[in-house]
Amino acid sequence: MKWWVIPAVAIGVVVAGVTAYGATAIFSGDSRWPFPWRKLYAASESMAPTVRSGTHLTARRKPAAELKRGDIVAFSVGDNIWIQRVLGLPGDRVEMQAGLVVLNGKPVPQTAAGSLEIEGEHAQIRSEQFPGEAAPHSVLDFGATPGDDMASVLVPAGRLFLLGDNRDNSMDSRFPAQPAPIGGGLVAFDDVFGTISPEDISYDGANARKR
């Protein structure tokens, strides 16, 4: 069951659904951690296929003002640390059209890159590359979902527009901000701890099957 089809009969039910699917919630803590690095453990599939549930990660402190499109960032949502990918920087205009990112009026193309079975469901893997990103990254597509379309948003100063790679199962900047632990909305620079590089992701692949 996806978080967007869980009946909103009680806030606890909604929170449980979003916690399970909506973000990669990782060890409790906040962006004021005193050390320049932090060991984390992914607790959901919202960044699949890049980061799978059960992945061990190292986040390294980096000022939000130095972030680039495509960076995977660790940031605070209440007492949790989440990870998502940077799409929009201050001054960017972001929208979604039928599952495609439109950045500053230009669609970001996607190409087919296989399929993945995840928690008993099949997803298509798509490859995309944001403007200025060093290399393409992979995202998952389970079909039509509420986050596939979003009106244009201008990213203000001091904020970031973030997306989960598991686009149909991520509570990210496409959705209005909700009180912690739900999250969503644009992310403040002050809530960002740092970045996670590919070499800082360690996963054994036991619960994934790629075709």
pLDDT at 13: 16
pLDDT at 126: 97
Residue 86 · residue 192 · CB < 8 Å: no
pLDDT at 24: 47
Inter-CA distances, 85 with 7, 58, 118, Å:
28, 15, 20
From the CA atom positions of the chain, what is the Rg in Å?
Answer: 16
Q: How does pLDDT run across 71-83, given as a tens digit for each residue?
A: 999 998 888 889 9
In the beta sheet, which residues pair with residue 90? Answer: none
For residues 86-112, average pLDDT: 98
Q: How does pLDDT run across 186-201, given as a tens digit for each residue?
A: 999 999 999 999 988 8
User: Is the pLDDT confidence value at 169 over 90?
Assistant: yes
Kind plus residue range of the DSSP H or E element containing 50:
none
Alpha-carbon distance 101 to 97, whole Å?
7
pLDDT at 122: 94
User: Is the pLDDT confidence value at 121 over 80?
Assistant: yes
User: Model pTM?
Assistant: 0.82
Kind plus residue range of the DSSP H or E element containing 20:
helix 11-21
**Residue 70 phi, psi (nearest 5):** 95, -15
Q: What is the bridge-based pairing of β-strands 192-195 and 72-77?
A: antiparallel
pLDDT bucket at 173, cuts 50 / 70 / 90: very high
Q: How does pLDDT run across 8-57, given as a tens digit for each residue?
A: 222 211 122 233 334 444 443 444 567 898 888 898 899 999 999 889 99
User: Is the pLDDT confidence value at 129 over 50?
Assistant: yes
Burial (CB < 10 A; 0-12, 13-18, 19+), residue 9, is exposed
